[in-house]
Structure 1
């Protein structure tokens, strides 16, 4: 089972559990998680699924590709070089069973 915890600056948390693998963005959109927009549907064409990955998971993630790197330069919230990722590029439940991310205050 895949488990994603979305954390907010005010201390609120939203947990989504899935039986099948899904990207952080797709799981959020399907579960109605606030703050994750996913305008491009996961095509690495926007930055509206920007999240800050908890440091505990950073070493377990795929390397940032060129398209993701380019889109991370366009985020509405400030980029954190060590933690910023696009939620559409991280799949949970396919070798990575759980993750915690901080949701930026704004995506657009």
Structure 2
């Protein structure tokens, strides 16, 4: 049931998602702002995708109250928001393109069965 709880969080906070970029920092998905996990974050590693509750502006941009998510959930839960035609270029868009390709390949393989 745990993934279902996180998916429900994603359905409410899909606009507050960040992707880990090369170099270890994160980039907010829609506006490409460089952010870092807040020092109070208890995630034991740096997941590829996180949903966050707060954007904290100090000497660095931090995201706080983070939860690890699967990128595939974004295109399943909010395809209208993650429409690549209206997406700014950047790392997040490239990752989303990969997710969409993987999703289409998975759907095509299901149709062949």
Quickly name the TM-score band, shorter chain normalised: under 0.3
Higher helix share: 2
Q: TM-score, normalised by structure 2?
A: 0.25
**Higher Rg:** 2
